[in-house]
């Protein structure tokens, strides 16, 4: 019996029990669509996080101060006050650090912002004029912080879009006076929206001159009374100069901090951050796929169950075929083709459903976050292959049971 004859016999057998075949298909459809949808959600989250980091540029370095230690317990990275504004200024020396293009120190604290009856507790970042260009931030309206603001420790503030919405609603914020931790600050600008991502909501924060954060708002000070900073953002000439810049920065800071053994700072770059996040999110995506694949396994068990029932119901038919000269391999291939046909059809419909769900879910908002999905053709192709393999695997046992039936014994059964 050739393949086409076996194929059409399998179709006739499945058509004779449409409801049963449809319910069996449903298990595979749900399994494949679940795998594709969850993998699309995972990959969408991965691409969203990675794109946000890459949008800052791959030629960025982040210098963070070390951790404090008390009674043998270490604090969080950046908790020690050993990076200063003077350190960041030293990194701008073109002779000592020729690979460095721009330096932007920052210091962070919490701030209670009040305007009339509205208030917002948000993160305050003390910055210099170079911060916006180094970190790829843009002013939507108003002006940026200038060197004059830094020199005079001016009580001026730039607000993120979410802070503006919380405090002002639809009113114009530029030129208004708000209270920040009990002090009057003039709103001079509004940041362009950057959205929320793996590093928190960048629209829900405000920016003040770094000297103002130190003198007016009381950020952490070094033992020598210098302006302490938690992070120094460094823009390197290009990605190829990253290693050279790390060496230059390390040498400068070791000399300034009189370090002879262990560094009291850490230097990370964008590429390291991207690689670490990709490794983490890959694990997350695989975990989602593994959970969804359980439903595929259940669908495969459903196929085995239905095929065993089919063998029992068609015992007499098998006996007649064998009595008329059908060989064992003909019976085996007939039931295998039925099982694979069921699983492949379910796989195809599952891919179509998964693609539809991926399109529907893309861009849906959950609170302040937006769900991003990324349909992957390789996952769809793999799902089809796996569904076919499931049909072949779970259909093998019923097919072998059918092929082993003795024609005389099969003909005796009603």
pLDDT digits 0-9 by tens, 257-306: 888 778 888 888 877 677 777 777 777 777 777 777 777 777 778 878 77
Give residue 316's pLDDT: 66
Mean local confidence (pLDDT), 337-350: 83
What is the helix (H) or strand (E) element at residue 134, kind and residue range? helix 131-134
Q: Which residues pair with 140 in a beta bridge?
A: none
- pLDDT at position 285 is 72
Looking at residues 43-53, what average pLDDT do you find?
Answer: 74
Task: State residue 39's pLDDT score.
Answer: 81
Percent of the chain scoring above 70 in pLDDT: 79
Lowest mean pLDDT among 20-24, 204-208, 211-215, 315-319: 315-319
Task: Assess whether pLDDT exceeds 80 at residue 358.
Answer: yes
Query: Who wins on pLDDT, 32 or 271?
Result: 32
Residue-wise burial string across 343-370, b where 16 or more C-beta atoms lie within 10 A, e elsewhere: bbbbbbbbbebbbebbeeebeeeeeeee
The better pLDDT of the pair 239, 74 is held by 239
Does residue 81 carry a pLDDT above 70? no
Longest dimension (CA), the chain: 104
| pLDDT for the residue 176 | 94
Lowest mean pLDDT among 8-12, 28-32, 45-49, 396-400: 8-12
Nearest CA to 32 out of 297, 362, 281, 285 is that of: 297
Amino acid 20: pLDDT: 75
Q: What pLDDT is stored for residue 315 in this prediction?
A: 67
The DSSP 8-state label assigned to residue 114 in this structure reads E
pLDDT band at residue 26 under the 50/70/90 scheme: confident
pLDDT of residue 123: 92
pLDDT of 70 = 42
- For residues 407 and 360, the answer to whether their CB atoms sit within 8 Å is no
Stretch 354-368: mean pLDDT: 79
Query: Cα separation of 3 and 330, whole Å?
Result: 10
pLDDT of 72 reads 44
The share of the chain scoring above pLDDT 90, in percent, equals: 21
Q: What pLDDT does 122 receive?
A: 92
Over residues 117-145, the pLDDT tens digits come to: 899 999 999 999 999 988 888 999 999 99
pLDDT, mean over the chain = 80
Q: Is the pLDDT of residue 413 over 70?
A: no
Q: What is the arithmetic mean of pLDDT over 326-348?
A: 78
Specify which of 47-56, 217-226, 375-384 reaches the highest per-range mean pLDDT: 375-384
Instruction: Kindly give the pairing relationship between strand 205-209 and strand 118-127.
Output: parallel
b/e map of 198-218 (b: 16 or more CB within 10 Å)? eeebbbbbbbbbbbbbbebbe
> What mean pLDDT comes out for the span 296-321?
73
Summarised one tens digit per residue, pLDDT across range 214-244 is 888 875 555 556 778 889 999 888 878 888 9
Radius of gyration of the chain (CA): 33
- Is pLDDT larger for residue 66 or for residue 174? 174
């Amino acid at each position: 019996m050739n393949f086409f004859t076996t194929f059409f016999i399998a179709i006739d057998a499945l058509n004779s029990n449409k409801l049963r075949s449809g319910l069996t298909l449903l298990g595979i459809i749900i399994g494949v669509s679940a795998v594709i949808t969850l993998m699309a959600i995972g990959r969408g989250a991965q691409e969203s996080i990675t794109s946000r980091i890459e949008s800052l540029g791959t030629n960025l370095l982040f210098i963070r101060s070390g951790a404090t230690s008390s009674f043998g317990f270490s604090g969080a990275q950046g908790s020690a006050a050993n990076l200063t504004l003077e350190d960041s200024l030293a990194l701008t020396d073109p002779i000592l650090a020729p690979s460095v293009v721009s330096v932007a120190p920052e210091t962070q604290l919490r701030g209670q912002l009040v305007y009339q009856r509205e208030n917002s507790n948000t993160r305050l970042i003390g910055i210099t004029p170079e911060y916006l260009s180094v970190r790829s931030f843009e002013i939507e309206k108003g002006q940026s912080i200038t060197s004059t603001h830094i020199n005079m420790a001016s009580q001026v503030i730039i607000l993120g879009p979410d802070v503006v919405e919380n405090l002002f609603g639809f009113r114009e914020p530029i030129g208004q006076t708000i209270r920040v931790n009990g002090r009057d600050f003039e709103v001079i600008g509004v940041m362009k929206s950057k959205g929320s991502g793996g590093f928190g909501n960048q629209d829900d924060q405000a920016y003040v001159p770094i000297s103002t954060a130190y003198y007016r708002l009381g950020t952490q000070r070094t033992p020598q009374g210098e302006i302490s900073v938690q992070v120094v953002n460094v823009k390197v000439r290009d990605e190829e100069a990253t290693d050279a810049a790390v060496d230059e920065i390390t040498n400068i800071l070791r000399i300034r901090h009189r370090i002879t053994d262990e560094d009291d700072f850490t230097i990370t770059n964008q590429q390291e951050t991207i690689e670490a996040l990709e490794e983490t999110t890959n694990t997350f995506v695989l975990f989602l796929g593994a959970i969804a694949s359980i439903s595929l396994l259940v669908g495969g068990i459903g196929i085995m169950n239905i095929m065993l029932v089919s063998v029992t119901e068609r015992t007499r038919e098998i006996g007649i075929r064998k009595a008329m000269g059908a060989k064992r391999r003909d019976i085996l291939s007939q039931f295998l083709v039925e099982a694979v046909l069921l699983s492949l059809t379910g796989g195809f419909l599952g891919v179509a459903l998964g693609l539809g769900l991926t399109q529907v879910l893309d861009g849906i908002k959950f609170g302040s976050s937006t769900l991003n999905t990324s349909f992957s053709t390789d996952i769809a192709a793999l799902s089809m292959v796996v569904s076919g393999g499931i049909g072949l695997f779970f259909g093998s046992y019923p097919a072998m049971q059918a092929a082993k039936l003795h024609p005389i014994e099969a003909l005796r059964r009603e």
